[in-house]
Amino acid sequence: MAEATLSVRSRTSDPLPGFRLALFSTLLWAGLIVVLPLTALIVRPWQEGLGAMTMALHDGRMFAALRVSFVTAFIAALINVPVGLLLTWTLVRVRLPGRRIVDALIDLPFAIPTAVTGITLATLYGPQGWLGKPLAHLGISIAYSTAGIVVALMFVGLPFIVRSVEPVLRGLPPEQEEAAGLLGASSWQTVWRVVLPSLLPATVSGFGLAFARGIGEYGSVIFIAGNQPFRTEIAPLLVVVRLQEFDYAGATSIAFILLVASMLCLAGVAMLRRRVARGLITGVN
C-alpha cells in the first residue's frame, strides 16, 4: 500500500518521463542564451565607474538618435494598427482570391534578412526608384529622411499586429455581429461596439511588440535613413559607431537604455492588456 502511494505521488509530481531533466536542460539553455547576455549588458556599463557612465549620458548626439528611434518606432506602430486590423479582417472574414498568398507574404519580414529589406526599400523609394521618382516630382521625399525610417519600420512591424489579432478574430463568433445587425446596429456601430472591444487586448499587445521591435531595428533602416547625425541617425547605428570609435562606455550606455526601454515597453503593454481584458470581463458581467 505504501509503495503504491509513493508511486502515485511520483507520477503526480513528475507527469512526463524525464520531465525534471528536460526542465533543467531548458532552463540552463535559456539562461545561457538569454539571461546571461542580458545580465552582462546590464552590468557592463557600470564597470568603468559612475563617472564614465555619466559622461556617456551627456551626449547630445546620443539623445538625438534615441529621439529618432523612439518617435519613428511609435509612429510606425501607430500607423500599423488600423492597417493591420483591416488586413486581418480581410484575411479572416473575407474570402478573396489569393488570400493564402497574402497570408504567407505577411510573414515575409520575419524570413528575409533585414539588410535585404533595407536595400530593397532604398532602391524602391530612392530618387530614381519606381516609387521615389514620381513622389519626388510631387515634392515628397521618402528615402534618406525620417519618413523612410517610418516606412521601413512599418514593413517590419506589420506582422506583429496581424499575428496578434488574427487568432482572436478567428475565435470571435460571427453570430455576435449578426445579432448586433438584427438588433438594429449599423456596420460602424457593430465594429466599434462589438468587434473592436474584443480585439483591443490583442491590438495593444501587437502594438507593443511592433514598437519594441522598431526601437532596436537596424538592418532595414540604415540603408534608407540617410544616417545623418542629429537628423536621421538611429540609436542602434550609433552603438556601432561608438564601437568603431572604441568608445565602449558610450556604446554600452546606449544599448543599456534601449534594453531598459524595451523591457519597460513590454511590461507596460502586458499591464495594459490585463487591465483592458479585466475591464471587458467586468463589462460583460
Average pLDDT over residues 80-92: 90
**Measured between alpha carbons, how far is 260 from 31 in angstroms, rounded to an integer?**
19
- The per-residue pLDDT for range 131-179, each reduced to its tens digit, is 888 888 888 888 888 999 999 999 999 999 999 999 888 888 777 777 7
- The per-residue pLDDT for range 182-240, each reduced to its tens digit, is 777 777 777 777 788 888 888 988 998 899 889 888 888 998 988 888 889 998 998 88
Residue 283 has pLDDT above 70, yes or no: no
Least confident among 29-43, 46-60, 192-206:
46-60
- The per-residue pLDDT for range 60-85, each reduced to its tens digit, is 888 898 899 999 999 999 999 999 99
Q: Name, in order, each residue with C-beta under 8 angstroms of 148's C-beta and a sequence gap of 6 or more.
A: 121, 122, 125, 142, 224, 225, 226, 232
What count of other Cβ atoms lies within 10 Å of the Cβ of residue 5? 9
Whole-prediction pTM: 0.81
Q: Name, in order, each residue with C-beta under 8 angstroms of 144's C-beta and a sequence gap of 6 or more.
A: 224, 225, 226, 228, 232
Q: What is the mean pLDDT of the chain?
A: 81
Q: Give the per-residue pLDDT at 48.
A: 67
Q: Give the per-residue pLDDT at 152.
A: 93
**Measured between alpha carbons, how far is 264 from 280 in angstroms, rounded to an integer?**
24
Average pLDDT over residues 115-125: 89
